[in-house]
Structure 1
Amino acid sequence: MTSKTVHVAEDAARILERLSRAATLLTFAIACAVCLSAPLLALSFANRPFLGMLVEPTLVVATVASAGWTGREAGVEPGPRVVRVDGRAVASSEAYQAVVAGLPLGRPVSVMVEHRDGRQQLHPSVTPMAFPRDDLLRLFGVPYLVGVAYVLIGAWVYRLRGQTRPGRVLAFFCFAASITCALIFDIWTTHAMVGLWSAAVALSGGAIFSMAMRFPVEWGPVRHRPWLLAVPYLLSMALGLRSFVSVRDLAAPYAYVRDWQASYFYVALAIVGFLLITLYRTRRAESPAARQQARLMLGGSAIAFVPVMFWLLGAAAGFRLVFRPLVYLPPMLLFPISIWVAILRYRLLDVDDFLSRTVLWGALTAILAGIYTISITISQRLFVSITGEKSDAAIVLTTLVVASLMTPLRAQLQGMLDRRLKSVGERGAELRRFADQVTLNSQLGRPERIACRFLDEAVAALRAESGALSLRRDGRWEVVETRGRWAGDVWLQVPLACGAERFGMVWLGRPLGRRRYTEQERDTMAAVAVDIGRAMGDLAGSA
């Protein structure tokens, strides 16, 4: 390869880096704007008259429904397109919403629909109703909370690892997923940002393909040809652009269905590819750490994505499947639980502290969001059954009560997570600070006292179940101090020596909740033991 070719490749890589950063930050800004505006759009729809059915951007009746919806009870089925309401023609989403907003609650109106074959059907008595609050929580609240969790996780990932390509692609996926979740309700109601939702779905597929090439280790060809990473996003942009245009094409009111199906298939294909590549890496990755990461990612991804993958494949095949947030989102809550179990059992914290923190903070956010949503729903129903009050004041009151109860729970979970996620580097820093104190302070006392302090610090910092200190006395080695239930089971040992003279040994038992000590912990213990041994030698020489 000539020097000119190398320079061209380096310039191309730098351009891609800049584009990647700009695209990630732009998507983050859009996700934040969506999370702020989505509740306003949802509440504006919920406060207007409701015809007992939801429609998609070109007024095609959606598959989403619930018991008691008057439109469905009047016989309006999903699939045809609404063309008249109360005798007035509705040619667009804006016209439909304007007509429905002026209807009085409780007075039946006529609704005419047109099937794909051009046949029209009149439903003479559809009664406008108020949009049920339970359905607002189910169809908007749950997806929206998941979307907020995604944008927070993505922002945290970008803050810590935004300078790396794997960090950016993970953050980008979180932002695209946030937009997709937060705007699900909008595609059936106000249609204000349906084009943006369509683009975000397609971009999520590109991000999943990109993650498959980067996690747990970057694919070899990508390191030499970074432009390969742009290929999935180019396909996503093509699919997203088609959907962005077709959702507003009233001349071809069913064209968007075909484009959405293409995006669904692309995302499902990305999920399948990600799972297969990750499965391959569980067996063929070069390092044991990468294989361990791949196993964790495979289990968590399968739990999180397989249910929605089947829905995407069914929808892409043309089946009008109902998307039920309470059916497809609970697996997303099982995902963090499985990750937590994997960390405790397989010690992922030793493999990649950053990934562990990202996943577990996402777990905590998702679990709290689920508990919060379910608690509000149950408490509101209980409040209504006891008092018979269904006003907005009742909703506000029950929400405040649940929020006040959630605060101490969140604090306890956060404290537990912070204690659990103390990184290897933080644990090592505690030992190094103790070594610095010993080095700088020559008045710490006898060598035996320093050794005992070192044992205490090591047991606490590395979370050992037990420990022991052995010192040389009168030419014989004696165990002079033990911590915990010491039974002689040595998992880590370091000598305390100065030059050729050995003063003692520090032994640690099994680490709490783990299978082994990490290499970084072993190296830190060895380095600190050298400083402690030198200090003991200095004190012994001055005695």
Structure 2
Amino acid sequence: MTEQAILLDEPPKAQKTKRTPFGRALVIAALALAVGINLLAPGLALSWARQPFLGTLLEHTLVVAGRPSADWASIEAGLDHPDRIIEIDGLPVANGSQLWKILRRYEADDVVSLKVESPKEGGGWQTRQVSLRLAKFPLQDLFTRFLIAYVIGLIYLALGIWVFIVKGHRTSGRSFAFFCACLAMLTGSYFDIISSHWLIRVWTAAMPLTAASAIHLGLVFPQERTFIGRRRILHYLPYILAAILAVWSELVLFDTANPRAYFEAWRWSFSYCGLGVVIFLSLLLWTRLRPKTAEIRQQARIILLGSIVAFAPFLIWVTVSSIIRLEFRFQAAIFFPPLVLFPLSIAYAIVRHRLLDVNLVLSQGLVYLVLTTLVVGSYFLILNVLGQVLHRTELASHPVILASFVLLLILFMEPLRRRTQYLVDRVFYKDRPNYRQRLEKFSRALTATLDLPRLLDMFLEQVGTLMHAERGIIYLFDPEINEYTPQRTWNIPHPDTLEAIRFRDRDSTIKWLKDSAKALYLTSS
């Protein structure tokens, strides 16, 4: 007798289709706004870059922005955040628009005199005169400060549009699309807030909304939280908090009485963004440890893999610069591009999450991430210790140290890799079923009975436990009617209704199962 078994997993709550025309319209509006901003941003950046450059980037109230490049004139002049320009060549200026109108009169290499408001010891502000030579804005800085973030935002936007087209009928698809739209607005207007300031209000509102959409995405995907289903108001709570922060920030953005009043509002918005990432990853880890179905476990692992690879460079930078306390300059070209993997992994998990052997990829990715961190950290730690002992600072290129370190890697890398692999598997896959033991136990049980219904029940129990299937049906071939009919069910509310669902040997589903010898996944879409 030929047998075929088909398991039907109930789609998780986060994947259910819901008719929400207002939600779809809101997401479409956000995506359209993000497209418009990203079309406008390059023109604004290039137009600003053609003007004479003061040697520093300025926020909208002419407060000096931080992180200048090493060759900018502002470093020699002593300009730093939170200094504020209040006059240029004796002409008062209060915002970027007034400043750029004056700068159009000058050319590169002209020298201008600035009156700057700086903090003084003991509190309060003092004014001082600063002379700067105007220059052309460096193309390299335009690349690192605008183009990288802009391209990353375009990728986020493209992923959001794609997921919305494919899965926009689901809560998870709409939530992810809105998250991508907000983040694309944030990255698209990032350079503008320290240059021409046309999109400053958009950036200010997009920052807390990005955090809110990340929290909401974590609440509904890969599985909707039980408390969310019972209290629908919790769906809107992150956005209510974001709206409060956005309104506060917008009100103090151009406060003429206190040009730095927006500092505190922005600080709270930054904190909310950090909290949003922490909540999202915490909910994801909780889902990974306690999934409702095997499908949800698979999706959580994909996103964890993308998150680990995306944030690994930042982790290494923080470890080297803050913990080991070595000079390691932040490089946007190195640290920003991996961030693309974060939304890419979420989009993949929503749309096509069954195409990867995620267990293997995640396990090996974690191992090599840990090894990379250990190797880099150990190398800098050795250099730091030797530098203090030998009272020398330039040891990184010393041939003896390099050769010794490479020799140590050759001797200990493979044992270290095996040990790390064992620890990673033990920590992250301690709940993985022992398939060999299950198979041996099931084989022994088969020899103890010849009753077909009992055998089928045992088979369904084993498959349901291993695959975390919520429901199951076994179809067997009936040679008398030449059809596959349901013989045993598991956790099906009304099994009698399945009698009408039968398969013939020539049906495309049966042919596909026979020819491919693979699992066929059925979804609600």
TM-score normalised per structure 1: 0.58
> 2: distance between equivalents of 1:274 and 1:525?
47
Alpha-carbon separation, structure 2, partners of 1:146 and 1:101: 32
Contact 2:298 2:353 in 1 (8 A): no
2:362 corresponds in structure 1 to none
**Aligned-residue offset at 1:104:** 2.3
Separation in 1 of the partners of 2:187 and 2:238? 21
Contact 1:60–1:79 (CA<8 Å) still a contact in 2? yes
The equivalent of 2:112 in structure 1 is 109
Task: Assess, with a 3 A threshold, how the Cα gap between structure 1 residues 237 and 501 changes in structure 2: closer, same or farther.
Answer: closer
Which of these residues, 187, 198, 201, is aligned with residue 193 of structure 2? Answer: 187
Out of 99, 103, 111, which is 1:100 matched to? 103
2:131 is equivalent to residue 131 of structure 1 = no
Question: Which one of the candidate residues 30, 36, 40 is aligned to 2:39?
Answer: 36
Change over 3 Å in CA distance of 1:15–1:252 after alignment to 2 = farther
Q: CA deviation at 1:352?
A: 6.0
Any conservation in 2 of the 1:28–1:175 contact (CA below 8 Å)? yes
Residue 296 of structure 1 and its aligned partner are, at CA, apart by: 2.1
Whole-Å Cα distance in 1 between the matches of residues 312 and 132 of structure 2? 38
Q: Does 1:326 align with 2:306?
A: no
- On the 8 A contact 2:110/2:133 being kept in 1, the answer is yes
Match of 1:246 in 2: 252
Residues 114 and 323 (structure 1), Cα distance of their counterparts in 2 relative to 1, 3 Å cut = farther
Q: Which amino acid aligns with 1:332?
A: L
Q: For residues 18 and 127 of structure 2, what CA distance do their matches in structure 1 show? A: 55
Query: Which amino acid in the other structure matches residue 270 of structure 1?
Result: G
The 1-side partners of 2:27 and 2:177 are apart by 7
Letter of the structure 1 residue corresponding to residue 25 of structure 2: A
Determine the structure 1 residue equivalent to 2:399: none
1:293 maps onto 2:291 in alignment: no
User: 1:78 corresponds to which residue?
Assistant: 81
Does residue 206 of structure 1 match 2:215? no
Q: 1:335 to 1:151 in 2, by over 3 A?
A: closer
Choose which of 479, 482, 500 in structure 2 pairs with 1:499: 479
Counterpart of 1:354?
352
Which of 118, 125, 142 matches 2:148? 142
| Unaligned 5+ runs, structure 2 | 1-16, 322-328, 359-474, 483-502, 514-525
1:20-59 matches, within 5 Å, as 20-59=23-62
Cα distance, 1:42–1:496 mapped onto 2, change above 3 Å? same
Q: How does 1:98-497 map to 2 (within 5 A)?
A: 98-116=101-119, 117-123=124-130, 125-304=131-310, 325-333=332-340, 335=342, 353-355=351-353
Contact between 1:271 and 1:305, CA under 8 Å: does it hold in 2? Answer: no
Q: Against the structure 1 CA distance between its residues 75 and 222, is the aligned structure 2 distance closer, same or farther, given a 3 Å change threshold? A: same
CA RMSD of aligned residues (A): 3.8
Distance 1:165 1:336, change over 3 A: closer
1:206 Cα deviation (Å)? 0.2
Query: What is the aligned partner in structure 2 of residue 405 from structure 1?
Result: none
By how many angstroms is 1:97 displaced?
Answer: 1.5
Indicate how the Cα distance of structure 1 residues 188 and 352 shifts in structure 2: closer, same or farther if over 3 A, else same: closer
Identity %: 31
How big is each residue's C-alpha offset from its partner over 1:21-53, in whole Å with a ceiling of 9 and x where there is no partner?
Answer: 222111111101101100110011001111110
Alignment CA distance shift 1:157-1:524 (3 Å): farther
Aligned to 1:536: none
State how far apart, in whole Å, the 1-side matches of 2:314 and 2:30 are: 23
Distance 1:524 1:77 in 2: 77
Say if 2:249 and 2:262, in contact at 8 Å, map to a contact too: yes
Where in structure 1 are there 5+ consecutive unaligned residues? 1-13, 315-321, 341-347, 361-494, 503-522, 534-543
Relative to its length, the structure with more helix (as a share) is 1
For residue 497 of structure 1, report the CA deviation from its aligned partner. Answer: 8.0
CA spacing shift, 1:241–1:303, aligned 2, 3 Å: farther
After TM superposition, give the deviation of residue 58 of structure 1 in Å: 1.0
Letter in 1 for 2:338: P
Q: CA deviation at 1:530?
A: 5.4
Give the whole-Å Cα distance in 1 for the aligned partners of 2:19 and 2:250: 25
Equivalent pair of 1:196/1:244 in contact (CA under 8 Å): no
Paired residues of 2:54 and 2:135 also in contact (CA < 8 A) = yes
Structure 2: distance between partners of 1:302 and 1:532: 37
Aligned residue type for 1:354: R
Q: Deviations over 1:478-527 (max 9, x none)?
A: xxxxxxxxxxxxxxxxx99882699xxxxxxxxxxxxxxxxxxxx99995
**Deviates further, 84-93 or 229-238:** 84-93
Q: How many residues align structurally?
A: 348
- SS at structure 2 position matched to 1:115: strand
Q: Answer whether contact 1:206 1:233 (CA < 8 A) is retained.
A: yes
Provide the C-alpha distance between the structure 2 equivalents of 1:532 and 1:176, rounded to a whole number of angstroms. 42
| Greater shift in the superposed pair: 63-72 or 166-175 | 63-72
Write the distance in 1 (CA, Å) between the matches of 2:235 and 2:208: 15
Paired residue type of 2:243: M
Whole-Å separation in 1 of the counterparts to 2:66 and 2:350 = 43
Provide the rounded CA distance (Å) in 1 between the counterparts of 2:298 and 2:228.
22
Q: Secondary structure of the residue that 2:99 maps to in structure 1?
A: helix
**Distance in 2, Cα, partners of 1:187 & 1:307:** 26
Deviation at 1:275, TM superposition (A): 1.2
1:336 Cα deviation after fit: 8.0
CA contact (8 A) 1:239 1:259 kept: yes
* Residues 152, 340 of structure 2: 8 Å contact kept: no
Q: Secondary structure at the match of 1:201?
A: helix
Moved more, 239-248 or 205-214: 239-248
Q: 1:532 to 1:160 in 2, by over 3 A?
A: closer
Secondary structure at 2:107's aligned position in 1? Answer: coil
Separation in structure 2 between the aligned mates of residue 268 and residue 140 of structure 1, nearest angstrom:
22
Moved more, 175-184 or 239-248: 239-248
Q: Distance in 1 between matches of 2:171 and 2:36?
A: 24
* 2: CA distance, partners of 1:213 / 1:120: 50
Contact 1:54 1:64 in 2 (8 A): no
Paired residues of 1:217 and 1:290 also in contact (CA < 8 A): yes
Task: Provide TM-score, normalisation by structure 2.
Answer: 0.60
Per-residue CA deviations over 1:311-350 (Å, capped at 9, x if unaligned) read: 99x9xxxxxxx9863354133145589x59xxxxxxx98x
